[in-house]
Chains A and B, each alone.
Chain A
């Protein structure tokens, strides 16, 4: 049973407290957290609030189990394990007694401290924002247990030790396990001072601990939203238009209704929903619909037309995202100039579990089961759709079968669809299970935007880069969402230019410009967001510039990164571990790239073989990571391995294209992803660090592409500037 994960059946905050009190006669820990030591972009604003509402992150039961309440979505990144590790460390718990439980949707208690009053998971922020919070939570629980032991035994708290789940008083030889003291501890006041451990005495953080979710995910018992099927559930599939922003003109549903098992056909804003007693009937019913669309407002352009428009824009100045020195003059005066353009297609996230959720809607409440990544937004959007208040929407977060950003979107698309269906059938309490098929997923939009980049660089007579102009053309992920105010400054969507506008290299004349385009294709953040394209364009172009100046890629980076010790640290580690500079046989090559995002630093060295046909095989990736203090080194390695595989899939094959506005791909045969036979050998090395821990969930992706591209050049003399590699016959 170790590592079992309980899903609270009635996950309201109140019910949570009640059930823990009634069911466990244990200790529910609530405390006020001052925000001291908090990390993250919003630290200053949030600290100004001065106070956080009491939190409940840990429960200790009479049976000696410690349940850590996890406020972030477990979507594969190992966050159950990571957050539990932090709390267990300060509690001095034994890892075997640790359980995890998903938190209810309650932004007042379980908000992402980097995001303000919003509960959600993303931006590789889960460990970073939770680290101080859960240390405090663990320390508070420990202090109460120590107080309880001191009172029970009549000894001074200072003479009590806690180690691996055992509370002991050496002088009297007494000891107790947590469970024995939980009831008493629950009656005591929390000490005002909660000293935290010195990191050097950590016994769990920084060690390899078994993942909490391995058992359930290897015997079929792990529950995903797709597995939630209350009695009487109707499965719903939606027929959506095949051009974005088309609307329903007419539907002929007679044939659909005639299919055995089909119960209802309703129209909703997203399209036409077929409800049936199971997936198969719903699918047949949907196939039988005859639908006409009004395409007056539909996007009808194809990828080729978009590319032509983007290329034209690239010839004109964009809005400045960064401007240093005088780039025009420096380019004009350069001893040597080079220019290059890079193309990036739309990308679907294609998480393994297609979008789905279960909704039970009544006139006065809504229950939603989902692998929910953005609880506060989803609560608000579901409430608005249903005509309820957000607090009447209860979200039951379950494991997500991957997300990579897809499940967190400002429109809460799949949640809103399901709620709108439940409303259309009368808000009668029938469980509605909306399932997207893989075709729906690939064709359904919210892609990583298509981008076009043009870079121009100038070198002085000694081959040193003196000018850098970078133009980025593409849609804004943030425009039109509630985040626009925070993320778009003077016309610049931060997510469009991250990784480019903050180029760390010391180049005296530097301009980064942005053209934000408007296209009727819904777009979204995709694992590592701006890093998915900006890292490629900047790190591949730097190699081109270096080559024009006769410079070694590693030496050039080291020199231009003087003073950036963490960048240099990962570069040096990756170079050393990969034997950078040693000879490779003909047809093989090595490339390097470095990237910082979310305060984590990653360098990768790729080794590739390029066949005479041009086909690229990635043989080996050596990756160095500096993410501050490593909470779970093995989980970090797993995330980097996975990020590399995910990035490589996009690099080689990832491509959503449009023909007259219609998506041309539909499933894994034409939206190809990485399979095991193309997975390279991967070595991950973590830089030892005492810095505050930062995230790694997205960090395997950005440096992978340019490291491989630079390696391909070293192996074959070919620069690949159009993604995916398949586009040019290199995959």
Chain B
């Protein structure tokens, strides 16, 4: 039985093993490669997507469990919070290798949608599931603060 869900706003149906992690279904079956593989065990956040708006580890989410749900990836995330996050990320040149950054941006966007003006502790709590081996953390913090200011207008 194919799995049907909404992917970046478009109805999508995939005929794959329902046990297959959403990460690989996205990357290999829909060609959306912006979502990354870092650990495959829910430990690093590189694979973070939004499922019904909630930041979710795609590497440990069987694709069968998202039937009927809304999945948003880095390629599709939009709206004021996502735009502010991207702008802030670029203004501060947060990225280094960039490999973790799809996940960071998805996590930061979800945070700002829930908490418009997080403090450092709030940022640390929301973002500590997302590893960056390049350790761009100083700028991630600064960029989230900046994105919050952009959102305030």
Contact = CB atoms under 8 A, between A and B. Distances in A.
A and B co-occur in one complex:
yes
Contacts of B96: 76-78, 402, 638-639, 642
A682 B138 CA distance: 8
B34 A668 contact: no
Contact of A679 (B28, B32, B90, B135): B135
B128 A351 contact: no
B139 A76 contact: no
Contact of B36 (A210, A226, A404): A226
Nearest to A683: B138
Contacts of B99: 224, 351-353, 401-402
B52 interface: no
Contacts of B21: 280
A646 B98 contact: no
Contacts of A210: 90, 93
B93 to A, nearest CB: 5
Interface in A124-159: none
B140 interface: yes
Contacts of B139: 638, 641
Interface in B124-153: 124-125, 127-141
A229 B26 CA distance: 13
A352 B138 contact: no
A632 to B, nearest CB: 10
21 contacts: A76-B98, A216-B98, A278-B20, A279-B24, A279-B27, A279-B28, A281-B17, A351-B97, A352-B38, A353-B36, A401-B97, A435-B37, A438-B40, A638-B93, A638-B139, A642-B135, A648-B135, A668-B41, A675-B129, A677-B124, A679-B135
Contacts of A679: 135, 137-138, 141
B17 A641 contact: no
Given A278-B28, A437-B40, A218 B137 contact: no
B58 interface: no
Interface of B: 17, 19-21, 24, 27-29, 31-41, 43-44, 46, 73-75, 86, 89-90, 93-102, 105, 123-125, 127-141
Residue among A216, A229, A260, A278 with most chain B CB within 10 A = A278
A354 B44 CA distance: 12
A138 B137 CA distance: 35
B33 A220 contact: yes
Contact of A676 (B29, B33, B36, B137): B137
A222 interface: yes
A224 B102 CA distance: 13
Contact of A402 (B35, B123, B133, B140): B133
A553 B108 CA distance: 41
Contacts of B34: 219-221
A668 B45 CA distance: 11
Interface in A390-436: 399-402, 404, 435
Contact of B128 (A260, A402, A646, A675): A675
Contacts of A279: 24, 27-28, 37
B26 to A, nearest CB: 11
Mostly, the A contact residues are loop
Nearest 9 interchain pairs by C-beta: A645-B135, A220-B34, A401-B99, A217-B98, A76-B97, A76-B96, A220-B74, A679-B137, A227-B33
Contact of B37 (A226, A404, A676): A226
A673 B137 CA distance: 13
Interface residues of A, number: 64
Given A219-B34, A399-B98, A352 B41 contact: no
Given A218-B90, A638-B96, A676-B130, A645 B73 contact: no
B93 A214 contact: yes
Contacts of B124: 676-677
Contact of B134 (A261, A352, A634): A352
Interface string A187-204: 000000000000000000
A220 B75 contact: yes
Contacts of A222: 98
B131 to A, nearest CB: 6
Interface of A: 75-78, 210-211, 213-224, 226-227, 229, 235, 260-261, 278-281, 350-354, 399-402, 404, 435, 437-438, 634-635, 638-639, 641-646, 648-649, 667-669, 673-677, 679, 681-682
A641 B131 contact: no
Contacts of A646: 133-135
A545 to B, nearest CB: 31
A75 B133 CA distance: 11
A280 B40 CA distance: 11
A280 B24 contact: yes
B97 A669 contact: no
Nearest to B143: A218
Given A210-B93, A675-B128, 17 more contacts: A78-B96, A217-B101, A218-B89, A220-B74, A229-B31, A235-B28, A279-B24, A279-B27, A352-B44, A352-B131, A401-B36, A438-B39, A641-B139, A645-B137, A675-B129, A677-B124, A679-B135
A676 B128 contact: yes
Contacts of B105: 218
Contact of B97 (A214, A229, A353): A353
A260 B16 CA distance: 10
Nearest to A283: B40
Contact of A669 (B35, B43, B123, B135): B43
A214 B89 contact: yes
Nearest to A433: B28
A547 to B, nearest CB: 31
A226 B33 contact: yes
Contacts of A401: 36, 97-100
Nearest to A277: B28
Given A76-B97, A217-B98, A676-B128, A350 B141 contact: no
B58 to A, nearest CB: 12
A438 B41 contact: yes
Contact of B41 (A78, A638, A667): A667
Nearest to A77: B96
B118 to A, nearest CB: 12
Contacts of A350: 133
A352 B97 contact: yes
A648 to B, nearest CB: 8
Nearest to B102: A220
B67 to A, nearest CB: 17
Contacts of B28: 229, 235, 278-279
A653 B147 CA distance: 32
A649 B20 contact: no
B62 to A, nearest CB: 10
